[in-house]
Amino acid sequence: MVTRYFKLSDDVYVPGRWELGAPLDGRGQKVWTWLFRRGEPAAVDGPLRIPLSHPGKSLDFSVAGAAVPIVHEKVAALFSELAPDAVQLIPVEVDSRSEQYFILNTLRVVKCIDEAACEEIQRWTPEDGQPELVGEYRVVAGMRIDPMKVGDAKVFRPWGWPVVLLVAEDIKTAMERAGISGARFQDVTNS
């Protein structure tokens, strides 16, 4: 049986929910969010803080800045149990909240996008003026992945499209059973 994989994203349709700003370092400077999308451990200085862009109902899973997952300690415990070698949990303080939250930094990038099965694919070209992005994806609409290319990964970002976080079905199921708020799942398995 083929493992199914899901895009894990922030459920922006939760009524009255909070909105998180970009992570800030101890000096109040924005932390470059690409640090948490490279698929490797991130070195950060001092305690990090997540400001509230819009106060509201706190969520167990949210996204701050550009695709940086912020998780409540119960979500962090779940990932530590089910995929301990696949994530780095970086403690953060969320403004006006006493609970412990973490940046969920994914430590794997997998080349798995099934281009033929996606609705639309566009790649960066030299003409786009972004030489560091040439060859990577500029657009991935209706993303589908080839599960046979994933191997044993349970949580990862797809190569060339690091704004997406993917999880295996057992993680999705565990999050749903635990009643994790703020998480939205979309099946991306091409089978």
Residue identified by tokens 């993303």 is 143
Statement: the pTM of the whole predicted model exceeds 0.75: yes
pLDDT number for residue 66: 82
Cα 15 from Cα 19, distance rounded (Å): 11
Regarding beta strands 48-50 and 87-94, do their DSSP bridges make them parallel or antiparallel, or are they unpaired? parallel
Going residue by residue through the chain, which has 191 residues, state the pLDDT in tens, using 9 for 90 and above: 679 999 999 999 999 999 999 999 988 999 988 899 999 999 987 789 999 999 999 999 999 988 899 999 999 999 999 999 999 999 999 998 999 999 999 999 999 999 999 999 999 999 999 998 898 899 999 999 999 999 999 999 999 999 999 999 999 999 999 999 999 999 999 76
Residue identified by tokens 């994790």 is 180
